[in-house]
Amino acid sequence: VGLKRVPPTSAPIRLRPVSDQDLGPLYRIASERPEEWARVCHRGVPSPAQFGDRLWAGVLAQFIIELSDGVYEPVGLVSLHSADFANRTAWLELVSFGPGNQDGAYASGLLLLTRYAARSWDFRKLYFETLEFQGSPLIGVPGVEKEAHFREFYYHDGRYWDRMIWAIDNSKFEPESLIS
């Protein structure tokens, strides 16, 4: 699903810092849908005591995406992590809070984070990974290319699924022009 088909939402949206009050709801997502949160759950769901450390391990910046329908409500989490300043790369991650289709909000949240990253640091490339059943609103956007494809990498729901690594080339990717 690309941004051409899932445009950024036109509803008011914002990124806000993660607070202590978010840890409970975020832990519930990790417990219920670990397959969608590789960074935190790739070695299994952490204990509640470990969760806070795992949530922030290697993180450069992360925010709650909030969408307004009169009142701002959290719909997802976007993170910038595993920064390699020597080689000017970092990794992006999106965790949707679901249920409900908020692809436009996720697209907007990711674009706001990439713009934040571009204004804050001189990264050349941003990577993100997806599992076959996940997709990403950034796939199909100019400047976003698949650079690795691991067949049958992750076991979930009775079968193995592929894992892909995608790269955003910041010389070709223009979040400013995509943000309405």
- Give the footprint of another protein on this chain (CB under 8 A): 42, 44, 86-87, 89, 124-125, 127, 147-155, 160, 165, 167
- Whichever of 106 and 161 has its CB closer to another protein, that residue is 161
Q: How far is the CB of 58 from another protein (least distance, A)?
A: 14
- Whichever of 16 and 156 has its CB closer to another protein, that residue is 156
Q: How far is the CB of 85 from another protein (least distance, A)?
A: 11
Question: What does the block give as tokens for 173?
Answer: 């990717």
Q: How far is the CB of 50 from another protein (least distance, A)?
A: 17
Phi, psi of 149 (to 5 degrees): -140, 110
Q: How far is the CB of 97 from another protein (least distance, A)?
A: 25
Residues pairing with 45 in the sheet: none
- Whichever of 28 and 149 has its CB closer to another protein, that residue is 149
- Whichever of 93 and 103 has its CB closer to another protein, that residue is 93
- Whichever of 116 and 154 has its CB closer to another protein, that residue is 154
Q: How far is the CB of 132 from another protein (least distance, A)?
A: 13
Please state, in angstroms and rounded to a whole number, the distance separating the CA atoms of residues 144 and 126: 9
Cis peptide bond upstream of 34, omega within 30: no
DSSP string covering 84-145: ETTTTEEEEEEEE--SS--HHHHHHHHHHHHHHHHHH---SEEEEEEETTT--TTTTSTTEE
- Residue 1 to residues 35, 80, 102, Cα–Cα distance (Å): 19, 21, 12
Residues pairing with 92 in the sheet: 80
